[in-house]
Chain A
Amino acid sequence: MAPPSDPILTDSRGGDVSDAAPRLAASAAEAPDATLGVRRTKKQATRNRVIDAARELFDTQGYQGTTIREIARHAGVSVGSVFTTFASKGEVLSQVMADRLDGLYAELDRVMPHLRGATIERLRTMFAIHFAFEVKHTRLFLAHIAAAYDWTLPSTATPMGKNQRLQGIIRECLDKGVAEGDVEADVDQQEVTDLLMAAYAWVYRLAAWNDADAPAMTAVMDRQIALIAAGFRPRG
């Protein structure tokens, strides 16, 4: 693995940066001097409690196994107050994931421009960062994927497939490879991206069902990336 990724892996494994950061920022922005401010702070506190409870429940019971009623009970708030902020459990999950992934993507935005080496290595490092970040919550991630197939999901929710951030990062990686001459310019980048996304999702399934750790997840993904890379290597 490329050296730049090492401190990142340790950082993200060490603490739940993504959970804490956006919440602190949000409550700091509230002005508690006016009544309106107090109400807003209160609402924010309820929202945070709901998010925390939901994260735990989705992570242990999956998407289907979690209900709004349970989330409310777990958070110690009324069902009604959950519904004042979120229209459905799909939306709660979207928010849980958005809060988590904001931290991850901020980290990736910081790291990716500094990565050197072949495209295959840059892709491997990028996914290794994902797995190190998510390894303790692989079931949460599966819930995120399963939510995409829920009938009752409102269009405002953002399940896995709708998240364009990761796809964008992969495409930048491939573009850089084309520029540097180790990715075939004629290859359909969308198809390569989709194959990588499918492989990525598969690794979560493996991890959640077989209790794989981050190094095991990374090892499997590395092999899958190598297999896909054979398909985008320059021809001739």
Chain B
Amino acid sequence: MMHTAKIQAVGDMPVKAPTRRALAKQQTRAKVLDAARQLFSEQGYEGATIRDIASAAGMSTGAVFANFTDKSDLFREIMLTDMTALAESMREAASHGTGAEESLLKIFVAGYRFYQTQLPLARAAFSVGWSPQDGPALRAAGPVQTMLNLFTEQLTKGVQAGELTQDDQSALRTQMLFDAYLANYDQAIFQGWTIEALQSRSRDQIRILLAGVRRG
């Protein structure tokens, strides 16, 4: 997100040049976010402190707090950036699937590929996601809703194509598919499962969850 924001700022120049101060602020935020991403990946959500993040970014804790209210604010910003990009690649992946089952599987796998190289960050996200303070906000975040909608779309398309029967449990089915997708990260994080293993497991899970609406 920081990168797009920067490019946009350059493109906007002829219309309204950002002040030097605004640019400096943006650079500071980017530096803090980079350092925070690094530390959350190395030490998890629990282990990373604002003080460490500030020192890794080469600035004072005061400068960090001038840009972010607290650690959870920082973490949320990183998550939102990632999840927005992920939702986009999930949509792209789904468009290459034929049929609901395959499209859903492609969505699952797009997620596992996305986090393959940053599993520690995914682990930190789960830690935050289950907390009573920050969990609800993370689950209600825009990109998460986009992902849920994408799951529902595949079910609707399946009905339209005559692959699935009309589903009065579509909302529940969507949520259960999404939870199955999320739960599989445990295998990746704690047991080092490969994408292929995750894919084969996901396929079985999707089949089980679609069994009630499969035609024929």
Contact = CB atoms under 8 A, between A and B. Distances in A.
Q: Is A bound to B?
A: yes
Interface of A: 61-65, 139, 142-143, 145-146, 148-152, 161, 187-188, 191-192, 194-195, 197-199, 201-202, 205, 208-209, 223-224, 226-228, 230-233
Given A195-B176, A231-B209, A151 B46 contact: yes
B132 A191 contact: no
B175 A202 contact: yes
B209 A228 contact: yes
A230 B164 CA distance: 14
A161 B46 CA distance: 19
Nearest to B187: A194
Interface string B162-188: 000000010011011001101100100
A142 B209 contact: no
Nearest to A226: B212
Contacts of B46: 64, 150-152
Contact of A197 (B135, B182, B183): B183
A231 B45 contact: no
Contacts of A223: 169, 172
Nearest to A153: B46
A64 B209 contact: no
Contacts of A145: 130
Given A188-B204, A227-B173, 13 more contacts: A62-B132, A62-B133, A64-B128, A65-B133, A148-B186, A152-B47, A187-B208, A191-B208, A195-B180, A199-B179, A201-B179, A205-B135, A231-B208
Interface string B128-141: 10111101100100
B43 interface: yes
B211 interface: yes
Contacts of A65: 131-133
A201 B209 CA distance: 17
Nearest to A233: B211
Interface string B197-216: 00001001101111110000
Q: Is the interface of B mostly helix, strand, loop or mixed?
A: helix
Interface in B108-138: 123-124, 126-128, 130-133, 135-136
List of 4 A-B pairs having minimum Cβ-Cβ separation, nearest first: A231-B208, A230-B212, A151-B44, A149-B127
B131 A146 contact: yes
B175 to A, nearest CB: 7
Contact of A227 (B47, B189, B207, B212): B212
B68 to A, nearest CB: 17
B176 A227 contact: yes
Contacts of A161: 186, 190
B211 A64 contact: no
Contact of A149 (B130, B169, B212): B130
B126 A149 contact: yes
Nearest to A198: B183
A150 B131 contact: no
Interface in B89-117: none
B188 to A, nearest CB: 13
13 contacts: A63-B131, A64-B46, A150-B44, A150-B46, A152-B47, A191-B204, A198-B183, A201-B179, A227-B169, A228-B176, A230-B212, A231-B207, A231-B210
A139 B133 CA distance: 11
A199 B205 CA distance: 13
A124 B205 CA distance: 20
A156 B175 CA distance: 33
A146, A149, A188, most chain B CB atoms within 10 A:
A149
Contacts of B207: 231
B126 A198 contact: no
Nearest to A59: B132
Contacts of B135: 142, 205, 209
B204 A199 contact: no
Given A149-B124, A161-B186, A195-B209, A224 B172 contact: yes
A142 B211 contact: no
Contacts of B211: 230-231, 233
B133 A195 contact: no
Contacts of A151: 43-47, 123
